[in-house]
Amino acid sequence: MADNVLEKCRIELRDGLTEAVIKSLSDDLRKENVLGKEEIEEILQKTKTRTDQARDLIDSVGKKGRKASEILLKWLEKRDKHFYESLNIDGYSAIQEAGATSSHLSITADKPNTTTDEYKMDSNPRGLCVIINNENFEDSGKKRNGSQKDVERLKDLFKYLGFLVEIKEDQTTSEIKQLMINYSKDPRHTDCFVCCVMSHGNETGVEGCDGQICPLNDITSPFDGDNCTSLIGKPKVFFIQACRGHEMQSKVLVADGSGFSRIQISGTKYSIAKDSDFLIAMSTVEGYYAIRHPNNGSWFIQSLCKHLEDGSKRDQDILRILTKVNDEVSRKEGTINKDNKVIDAKMTPQPHFTLRKLLVFRAPKAAASK
């Protein structure tokens, strides 16, 4: 029964529904006469956190019974297909229909229901992880103190996850561009390519140690389907730690409480867009500072490494992990000195992606058992 499925998956739905999907589902449920205007306004109150909105949406629909729950699940599949499939709702429903009791059921949002839902990630090594860290600049006043903490954390993490890790320090803009071209032609590519770039930056790109800006497109485009055929159909992941402007995100108070279309293939060839299979996770949104502690490293990279290591042990996909990173970093509190004034330091990261499948980083068995 759909209402039982909704209750069983309640925690996964609460944690996994994005704000955009919650709003879309609210519109869908209003059109289907499941929820009224006032109910939706109550659910989507701006003072509520995303988690509270998701919880209230699930509970409001669940109270209305089986038919309402079926409609919610139907629209969830359309609005966020890969999240819907990760819940294994169809498998759960089949078990119920077969007469299984709830004590024997195991539903998790962390495990996809078929291997075709995931990118292949079992080669040894998994692939290349390139870490570019610009700490020292021609302008000595721009030194990025604390960046070595990020380098060490990233190096340890991706070695644990089975990647070949290479570190490049203090690169000029032209050197960054040439590095990307060289790595796009590297014969060692296997399942995945990861590139971590840490520097100063602005709205258009990241800064070389010579003070010039390297556009983001010059970092990512060498790996598209036209320029890097060895990575066609494989994930290309970029983590960018850099400011994207000179503003500080404003601080707001909240009352906090406690898709894609999968292509089925059977021995046939098919084509994909050349810019498919990218994930670009930015440390902050456009126009704003990215915050780095001079002793402890950057908020984004440190949070990313913590949640990615934990998520790799739980079979969580990268988008689920980045949502947790967004939540943790958004809640961080700090202060910085700007224009000789001490102001609140706030930020939230921003991922962009054209992934077609779930991307799950798992450590090789030997590493995971240590």
pLDDT band at 109 (very low <50, low <70, confident <90, very high): very low
Number of H helices, E strands in the chain: 14, 12
For the ranges 71-85, 108-122, 253-267, 327-341, which has the lowest average pLDDT?
A: 253-267
Domain-by-domain residue ranges, the chain? 2-109, 127-249+260-368
Tell me which residues are annotated as active site: 200, 243
Q: Which of 179, 171, 177, 184 is nearest to 127 (CA)?
A: 184
pLDDT at 50: 85
pLDDT tens for 31-63 read 999 999 888 888 998 777 888 888 888 889 888
Could you tell me what percent of the chain has a pLDDT over 70?
81
Q: Is the pLDDT of residue 113 over 50?
A: no
pLDDT at 368: 63
In terms of Cα–Cα distance, which of 89, 66, 63 is closest to 76? 89
Q: Among positive and negative, which fits the CA dihedral 10, 11, 14, 17?
A: negative
CA distance 159 to 129: 9
pTM over 0.75: no
Q: How far apart are CA 220 and CA 280, in angstroms?
A: 9
Q: Which listed CATH number (1.10.10.10, 3.40.50.1460, 3.30.70.2170, 3.40.50.720) goes with 127-249+260-368?
A: 3.40.50.1460
Q: Does domain 2-109 have CATH number 3.40.47.10?
A: no
**DSSP state, 369?**
T
- Which distant-in-sequence residues (6+ apart) come within 8 Å of 119 by Cβ? 191, 192, 234, 235, 277, 355, 357, 358, 359, 360
